[in-house]
Every structure is written in structure tokens, then in C-alpha cells.
Amino acid sequence: MKTDSESKPDSQPTGYACIQRYLKTLDSSPGVYRMLDADSRVLYVGKARNLKARVSNYARPGHSGRIERMIAATSSMMFLTTRTETEALLLEQNLIKQLKPKYNVLLRDDKSFPNILVAKGHAFPQIKKHRGAKKEKGAYFGPFASAGAVNRTLNQLQKAFLLRNCSDSMFDSRTRPCLLYQIKRCSGPCVGLISEADYRESVKDAERFLSGRSTKVQEELAEQMMAASEAMEFERAAGLRDRIRALTQVQTSQGINPRGVAEADVIGLYMDSGQACVQVFFIRANQNWGNKDFYPRVGPDVSPAEVMEAFIGQFYDNKEPPRQLILSDAIENADLMQEALSEKAGRKVEILVPQRGEKQELIAGALRNARESLARRMSESATQAKLLRGVAEAFDLDSPPNRIEVYDNSHIQGTNAVGGMIVAGPEGFMKNAYRKFNIRGDDLTPGDDFGMMKEVLTRRFTRLQKEDPDRDKGHWPDLLLIDGGAGQVSAVHEIMVEYGVEDIPMVGVAKGVDRDHGKEEFHRTGQPPFALKRNDPVLYFIQRLRDEAHRFAIGTHRAKRAKAVGATPLDEIPGVGAARKRALLTHFGSAKAVSRANLADLKAVEGISAGLAQKVYDFFHDKG
């Protein structure tokens, strides 16, 4: 792969003339090109199997309105040649996700999907939800469309196979069965109520079920139930009956389970009025593991083939593709995309556009869902636009805000204090833009809400001025909403003046009389407080924003508090990770006992070397 090259003469023209001047420097190599405006912002990223031929197309008139506008704004270009077309395709998608060019189709929501993990690092494997890189030893099943789909499946699998979901440290510390054993959701391996061999059989059954061999598992359970019934072991027979019922319930909740499709993603695209919805159904082990909708950013004259290709390239950039992609619309470079995905997966990946049969029925279902989802979204967007116009009118803004940031703090008597920021705009809550702030101020009085808000806003504006000094990347808010009254508004205003951003409208939302919903008062700098009518939709909208900020801050605080509960001084010792911490706590019973142990006892702990034992000993005794 060759590095970027850019040719920019002193008197650089724009538009067609600019593009024509690059043709003499290009050859027929495959690669990626970037079109930039006068401020060097990337307008578009594209791939080409022949760079000279592709760029020469832009040098001649006769394009769609979107492309004409892009060409007119082009002031310079950058090129990067590659060895193969596949390499160019992969590089193009990486650059699009990184640079987010204005004229490319962009996939906005691209988080990872949850899996079910049967962890194998313990004699009694744990079954749990897993998201992210597959580094832990065990068997992974997924992806599932949502955490809710995983939780429902795990719930039923616990009933069916009685596998533990507790952590290894909790498992090792149990002396009697937990509540899950009492309600028949676990077989109690922690206290020896099931043998390792029998537990392993349950794990195998769960893996067979998740691999699509559910019929065989149910047949075997049915045989065991009949044998128990004939032997008049009615309690055991009833337990087996409940397990069969749980498995049936998993299958029922999965909806349509295709017989002829073992592993595929079914991708349906529906476009209307310059907007698009892509619906993805995850089929694994002949089971439907849920669906998820996406709304890529598109223009009014983008073709379905372009949207579908851009979606696939960006969607599988950080995900393992299944054996088949079943599409509603063909893409232009199907062979190239198939080769790239196969290379990524290390096995063959097929791209299909079925016209009949079961696969076409699956596509029809995905298209129906995509059409209905887009209709709902367009209706919600119209309502949201109306509410934002109402916000602009209520708070005397020049125009409806595109980005509202709402701040709230959470703590218990000053401990584990966190600040939360949520963001909303024309498309509703922008959850990928939410931010949490661990309050660091050592000089703050516990419970000082003014001081906490000052710290949060100081850090926020410092970061904004560093990352987006020209305010042209869409990261700056058009409106700040602060949970609080005149005091909070005054504190925040000081910070805004200090950073020279007092031009951003800021409103404090106070509970008002009796702290009731509907009696909120709104505070602005230098103006008297006011209220909206109780039945005003804008008031309900502001309440929703504030409640979401409160929910996010509370959730962040609880997570921090839960983490702090499990913290010990051992966490501060270099070289003591989770496994060695567990070994020390298991051996001595508590962190306090570790701190009192002599060097010889520390060396006797399994997994603790003489050097580390000395470190642990010195850590506690140097402090004393």
C-alpha cells in the first residue's frame, strides 16, 4: 500500500477544473480517493479499481444533484493506492467511519451486539451475557439483537439447564445455596449439590440447544421425564417437564425459525423521501435471534445499491460476518464485498438476493419491518421538530436547537459523586453522545452541587475548545439545560463567561412549588423566572429531558458505587490483578487479614511468587 499523495498548486481551482488537474498525476492502480473543500474538510471518500478512470468520471458534467454539489465544493483531492481492490474496499469503509464525510452514506449507530457466553475457565462453567471482544475462554453464541433478547433467553436457559450465572469469586465464597437454587434456576454446584460430571452434561445440553440441536435435547428430556414418571419420581418428572416448557418458550419467543437457513443475516432496505431504514434479522442455528433497525444518513438521490453496499461495509467493519448475507437489494460490487468479508471471516461468506422460496419470505418480513419502522421514525421526527420549534419559542432562541445538552449530578452525601450529560436533537435522544464525569475535586465540600456542576462544565468546555475550536463539527450545544434554579444558573454562567461561551443559551430547570411535576420554573441569567402552562407539550418535553438526565446520572452513580463496594487496598498494589486478588482473599478471608499476614504466609498462597509476596508485605507495612 502506498501513502497518501496530494497535489495542490498555488492557485488551486475548484470543481471540474480542480479535478481535471489531477488526472495527469494518476495511473490505473486501485485505491481510495478523498475530495476536500477549501477548508480541507473531507467531503467524500470513494474506492476505485482504476483511480484514473474513476476520477475522470468526476471531471465531466452529467451527475446527480448531490454529486454536482460535491464536485462544485471540491478544492483538492487526496489519493492512496492499494495492491488490490479488496484492500481498497476495506480502507474506504475504515476512512468513512473515521472521517464521516458529508456526501457519503453513513451508518450512525454501530455498537457491538451481545452474545451468550458459556465460560470455560472454571470446573463449573458460568453462562452469561457478553459484549465486546471475544477474549475470554469459552463458547460464544450470537449475536443477539439486543440485551433484552439475551436476558430473556438466559432466563429460560437457566430454567431449562440450571446453569449458574454468578461470578467465580461469588461461587468460591458460597457456603449455602443462593435464592436461584431455591426457585429452581440453578443446580447449586457452589455447595456440591450436583456433581461436576452431571453439571458438564447440562452445559453440553445448553450448548447443543444454542447450536440449533434443540429437538434432540427435548426428546432426551422427554424420555427422562417418562422414565421418572414410571418410577413414580413425580417431583423429578415435574422438574423435567418445567425444563421442557422453558425450552419451548425460548423457541416461541424467537418467532419464525427458518428450516433452510442455518446461519445468516437478513438485511432489508426501505427508502422514502430521502430517508432510509435498514432492518437486520440475525439467524443463527436455524433460530431467529432478534432484529435491529438502522437509519443510515443518505441523500435524496442515492441509489438502494449504494446504501446497501455502504451499510454492509461499515456494519461488518468490527463484526464477524455470518456464512450468508441475504439482501433485499443487489450491490454493485458483490464479488468484491464477498471476497473482503470472506477474507475477514477466514471462511466463505455468500451474498444472496433471493427471488423466491424461504429466503425471499425472510426478506419480505425484513422489508415490512423496515417500512413500518421508517414510517414511525418519520412521524416521530415531525413531532420532535415541532417540539424543538416550541423550545425555541419558549426560550427566545433564534432557531430550533439541533443539539440540547442536559446536565445532572448524583451522589450520596458527596460520596461516589458523578455528573451526567445527555444529548437530544431532531432525532430524539443521541445516546452515543452521552457522557459521564467522575467528580475529582478534592477541595469540594461533600454534597456541594454548585461546585460539582462547575467542575463538570469546566471539563466539558475545556474539551470542546480543544476538539472543536471552530464550532463546525456539530459538537457544541445550541442549548444547555441545567437541573437547578438561580444558584446553579449563576454558577454555570461564571464558567461560561470564563471560557467565552456565554453566547450559548442556558436555562435552569427548577422543580418549583412543592417540587411537583408540572410546576417547574425556568431560570435564565439576568431574567426573572417563568413557567409554562401545565398542559404545554414543550413542558412535558423538558420534563422528559430532565428525567432522562437524572436516570443516566443515577445509573452511573450506582455503577460507581457498586464498583467501590468491591474495592480493597489490594487494588492499589502493582502486580495484583483480579486472579491474584481472589487467591489472596480466598486464602486469608479478607483484605484486613492479608494486611496482617507475615511474609512466609504470603509466600504460601498459590499463585503468589516470592517477589510479589514481598511487594504485598512492603505495601502494608510501609504504610504503617
Q: Which of 61-70, 319-328, 444-453 has the highest mean pLDDT?
A: 319-328
Beta bridge partners of 118: 127, 139
CATH among 3.30.1540.10, 2.40.170.20, 1.10.10.60, 3.40.1440.10 for 5-99 = 3.40.1440.10
Q: Hunting for cell 467524500 — which residue is that?
A: 44
Domain 5-99 and domain 263-375, same fold? Reply is no
Name every residue whose Cβ is closer than 8 Å to that of residue 289 and which is 6 or more positions away in sequence: 142, 143, 144, 145, 149, 153, 254, 282, 283
Name every residue whose Cβ is closer than 8 Å to that of residue 163 and which is 6 or more positions away in sequence: 118, 125, 126, 127, 157, 186, 187, 199, 202, 203, 206
* Angle value at C-alpha 417, between 414 and 420, nearest 5 degrees: 140
Would you say residue 78 has pLDDT above 90? Answer: yes
Identify the band that residue 9 occupies on the pLDDT scale cut at 50, 70 and 90: very low
Q: Hunting for cell 445516546 — which residue is that?
A: 431
pLDDT at 545: 93
Inter-residue contact 391 to 479 (CB < 8 Å): yes
The pLDDT tens digits for 514-547 are 555 557 899 999 899 999 988 889 999 999 999 9
Identify the band that residue 193 occupies on the pLDDT scale cut at 50, 70 and 90: very high
Helix (H, G, I), strand (E, B) or coil at 513: helix
Cα(429)–Cα(423) distance, rounded to whole angstroms? Answer: 6
- Which of 103-112, 286-295, 526-535 shows the lowest per-residue confidence on average (mean pLDDT)? 103-112
| Closest listed residue to residue 109, CA positions, set 321, 351, 311 | 311
Inter-residue contact 299 to 101 (CB < 8 Å): no
- Which of 182-186, 404-408, 416-420 shows the lowest per-residue confidence on average (mean pLDDT)? 416-420
CATH architecture of residue range(s) 263-375: 2-Layer Sandwich (3.30)
563 versus 121: which is more confidently predicted? 121
Inter-residue contact 534 to 518 (CB < 8 Å): yes
* Torsion-angle region of 106 (φ positive above 0: left; ψ -120 to 50: alpha; else: beta): beta
Cα(267)–Cα(312) distance, rounded to whole angstroms? Answer: 9
pLDDT at 624: 41
Q: Where are the domains of the chain?
A: 5-99, 115-253, 263-375, 404-563, 569-623
Inter-residue contact 117 to 150 (CB < 8 Å): no
CATH among 1.10.150.20, 1.10.1060.10, 3.30.465.10, 3.10.20.90 for 569-623 = 1.10.150.20
DSSP string of 241-277? HHHHHHHHHHHHHT----SS-SEEEEEEEEEETTEEE
Question: Do β-strands 5-6 and 76-81 pair in parallel, antiparallel, or remain unpaired?
Answer: antiparallel
As a whole number, the mean pLDDT across the chain is: 85
pLDDT at 442: 60
Q: Hunting for cell 474496499 — which residue is that?
A: 89
As a whole number, mean pLDDT of residues 550-568 equals 72
As a whole number, mean pLDDT of residues 81-100 equals 91
Domain 404-563 fold: Nucleotidyltransferase; domain 5 (3.30.420)
Identify the band that residue 385 occupies on the pLDDT scale cut at 50, 70 and 90: very high
Percent of the chain past pLDDT 90, that is, above it, reads 39
The pLDDT tens digits for 491-512 are 889 889 988 998 999 999 987 6
pLDDT at 11: 54
Q: Dihedrals φ, ψ of 315, to 5°?
A: -65, -40
* Angle value at C-alpha 250, between 248 and 256, nearest 5 degrees: 95
189 versus 235: which is more confidently predicted? 189
Would you say residue 312 has pLDDT above 80? Answer: yes
- Which of 36-50, 232-246, 315-329 shows the lowest per-residue confidence on average (mean pLDDT)? 232-246
Identify the band that residue 15 occupies on the pLDDT scale cut at 50, 70 and 90: confident
Beta bridge partners of 419: 409, 437
List the grid coordinates of 236.
423429578
